[in-house]
Amino acid sequence: MKILVPVKRVVDYNVKVRVKSDQTGVELSGVKMAMNPFDEIAVEEAVRLKEKGVVTEIIAVSVGITASQETIRTALAMGADRGILVETEASPEPLAVAKILKALADREQPGLIILGKQAIDDDMNATGQMLAALLGWPQGTFASKVDIEDGTATVKREVDGGLETVALTMPAIITADLRLNEPRYASLPNIMKARKKPIDVVKPADLGVDPAPRLSTLKVVEPPKRQAGKKVKSVAELVDKLRNEAKVI
C-alpha cells in the first residue's frame, strides 16, 4: 500500500513572527522556515507504518515555492521514499491544496493519506476535511492513535470531552494530532540518502487546478499587547471585580 503525506513549509515554530509594516502579512524574508510540526507527526506515523510492514511506499508532497523542496527533503530524511513538489508562486488556500492532492491521489492511488491536522501559519484546519469530501473517502481527524488491519483504519480521535474511536474503510484520510507520536530526528546517514531520493516537480496546471486565491486578506495586525495585571486589596474586591468587571463568575 502506498501512503501520501502532504508537508507544508511554514515559519519555524521557534521564530517570533513579525507583522509587515504595510499590514499585508507576516515578514518572511530572512526568517527560518521548517516543516509544519503536525506534518512531521504525519510523516513519522507513515514511517512507523512502513517499518511495521503495512506500507510499502511513502510519497511526500508539498505545494508551494521552489524552496519547499527542502521540506520534502526533510520528509525524505525521516524515511519517505520519494517526493512530489507542486510548484506555485501563490500561497494556496486549503481548497486549492485539497484539489491538487485529489489529483495526485487519483494518479498515485494511495491507500491512505495522512496530513497534519492544521498548519501552524494559517491555522486553517481544513485541507484534510476538504480532501476527504472531494475524494469521497472516510476521514479520521485529530488522530492520537492509528491501527491498520484488513483494509480498515482504526483511529482514536481527540475530541472535546474525551477520545472517540472510529473505524474507516480504506482508502481513507487521517489528520494527525499532537499526541499521535513523537517524530524522530533524522540520522546523518538518512540525510545523506535523502539527497539521492527523487523529487518530481509539477505545476498545478498539470493537475488541472487553478491555485489562485479565493480570499483576499484585508489586513494583518499584531495581537494587542498584554496589559499589566491589577492588584486587589481584599478577597471581596477580587470577587467583585471577577463578577462585575471580568464577568466570569
Partner 1 sequence: MDFSLTTDQQNIRDTILKHCSRFGDDYWLARDREAIFPHDFYKSLVDGGWLGIAIPAEFGGSGLGVTEATVMMQAIAESGAGMTGASSVHIPVFSLQTVVLFGTEAQKARMLPPVVRGEDQVCFAVTEPNAGLNTTEIKTRAERRDGAYVVNGEKIWISTAQVANKMLLLARTTPLDQVKRKADGLSLFYTDLDRSRIDVRLIHKMGRHAVDSNMLFIENLIVPEEDRIGPEGEGFRLILHGLNPERILIGAEAVGIGRVAIARAARYARERIVFNRPIGMNQGIAHPLAKCWAQLEAANLMVMKAATLYDRGEECGVEANAGKYLAGEYAFEACHTAMLTLGGMGYAQEYHVERYLRECLIPRTAPVSPHMILNFLAEKVLGLPKSY
Using CB under 8 A, list all residues that contact partner 1. 34, 70, 73, 77, 185-192, 195
Closer of 54 and 186 to partner 1 (Cβ) = 186
Provide the minimum distance between the beta carbon of 175 and partner 1 in the complex, in angstroms, as a whole number. 23
C-alpha–C-alpha distance, residues 180 and 163, integer Å: 12
Provide the minimum distance between the beta carbon of 47 and partner 1 in the complex, in angstroms, as a whole number. 15
Closer of 29 and 244 to partner 1 (Cβ) = 29
Contacts of 213 (CB under 8 A, 6+ apart): 90, 91, 92, 93, 96
C-alpha–C-alpha distance, residues 101 and 202, integer Å: 12
Provide the minimum distance between the beta carbon of 202 and partner 1 in the complex, in angstroms, as a whole number. 22
Closer of 33 and 124 to partner 1 (Cβ) = 33
Provide the minimum distance between the beta carbon of 191 and partner 1 in the complex, in angstroms, as a whole number. 6
Closer of 38 and 137 to partner 1 (Cβ) = 38
